[in-house]
């Protein structure tokens, strides 16, 4: 059976992980990486050529090739939506990746969504377009998720929950059953959410405090520190992948 042909939009660490996973699963043939104009730093990545978007359009037809979105949670996942719409405007389909090592019984998974290994989607669940579910995420029965949401590792959503667009659930966060999360809700790493939210809510860790006010500076600094630590850990993991495209 012939594999789908794809180009990975982005050259970040998520893009490199996706290249590895797509190859490992034989889910698609990666034909190169794509960046926006002015962001091309190297000609090659993991043995594949890097193209600027306009160059890619001339070389790879929208009828034959699909785009994989590597963009994650920055700007409350709006970056994923912007790139999604840019690709659609130019006639490209967005590739939906569901790992062979995920347990997916969902009624629907939207176009361009990414489902990593170890994810569990129970029966009667739905996931919208352009979502990103990292390893260990669990979404229980009769829950539905809007579009362009990001679920960090081991985030848990209990049954009958409704999640709006552009929501972010941090690592090891828990959303209890039957809740309604309005769009742009942020549930921080390790937080437990047990009440409905309004648009733009932030649920802090440990105490589960919810606020729609400006996020305190100390919390912002703590989150930036955690992001830096996460990037360092990811870099160590990717050291094992760096030669994958060139004959590991």
- Residue 180: Cβ-neighbour burial (10 angstroms; 0-12, 13-18, 19+): middle
pLDDT at 184: 94
Domain range for residue 200? 96-205
Sign of the CA dihedral running 102, 121, 126, 202: negative
Q: Are residues 152 and 193 in the same domain?
A: yes
Residue closest to 68 by CA, chosen among 17, 139, 126: 17
Total residues belonging to the chain: 248
pLDDT at 246: 35
Q: Are residues 112 and 192 in the same domain?
A: yes
Let me know the angle formed at the C-alpha of 185 by 181 and 186, rounded to the nearest 5 degrees. Answer: 130
Residue 171 lies in a domain: yes
Q: Are residues 66 and 103 in the same domain?
A: no
pLDDT at 74: 72
Instruction: Give the DSSP letter string of 116-153.
Output: -TT-EE-TT-EE-TT-EE-TT-EE-TT-EE-SS-EE-T
Task: Name every residue whose Cβ is closer than 8 Å to that of residue 207 and which is 6 or more positions away in sequence.
Answer: none
Residue 226 lies in a domain: no
Domain at 67, CATH number: 3.40.50.720
Residue where the block lists tokens 């129970």? 122
Q: Are residues 149 and 186 in the same domain?
A: yes
Please give the chain's pLDDT, 248 residues, in tens. Answer: 678 999 999 999 999 999 999 999 999 999 999 999 988 989 999 999 999 999 999 999 999 999 999 987 776 778 899 999 999 999 999 999 999 999 999 999 999 999 999 999 999 999 999 999 999 999 999 999 999 999 999 999 999 999 999 999 999 999 999 999 999 999 999 999 999 999 999 998 755 565 555 455 555 555 566 656 556 545 554 454 344 333 33
pLDDT at 247: 33
| Domain tally, the chain | 2
pLDDT at 237: 41
Q: Which residues are annotated as a binding site for substrate?
A: 72
pLDDT at 238: 47
Pick the last residue of a domain from 71, 95, 119.
95
């Amino acid at each position: 059976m012939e594999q789908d042909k794809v180009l990975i939009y982005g050259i970040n660490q998520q893009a490199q992980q996706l290249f590895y996973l797509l190859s490992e699963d034989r889910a698609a043939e990666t034909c190169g990486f794509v960046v926006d104009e002015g962001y091309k730093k190297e000609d090659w990545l993991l043995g594949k050529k890097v193209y600027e978007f306009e160059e890619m359009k001339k070389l790879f037809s929208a009828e034959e090739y699909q785009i994989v979105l590597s963009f994650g949670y920055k700007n409350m996942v709006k970056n994923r939506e912007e790139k999604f719409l840019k690709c659609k405007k130019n006639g490209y389909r967005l590739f939906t990746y569901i790992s062979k090592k995920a347990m997916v019984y969902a009624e629907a998974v939207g176009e361009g969504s990414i489902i990593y290994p170890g994810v569990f989607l129970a029966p009667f669940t739905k996931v919208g377009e352009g979502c990103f579910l990292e390893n260990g995420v669990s979404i229980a029965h009769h829950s539905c998720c809007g579009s362009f949401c990001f679920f960090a590792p081991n985030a848990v959503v209990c049954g009958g929950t409704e999640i709006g667009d552009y929501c972010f659930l941090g690592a090891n966060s828990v959303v209890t059953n039957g809740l309604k999360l309005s769009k742009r809700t942020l549930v921080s790493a390790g937080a437990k959410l047990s009440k409905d939210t309004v648009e733009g809510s932030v649920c802090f860790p440990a105490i589960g405090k919810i606020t729609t006010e400006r996020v305190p500076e100390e919390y912002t600094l703590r989150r930036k520190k955690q992001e830096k630590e996460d990037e360092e850990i990811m870099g160590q993991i990717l050291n094992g992948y760096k030669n994958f495209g060139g004959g590991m």
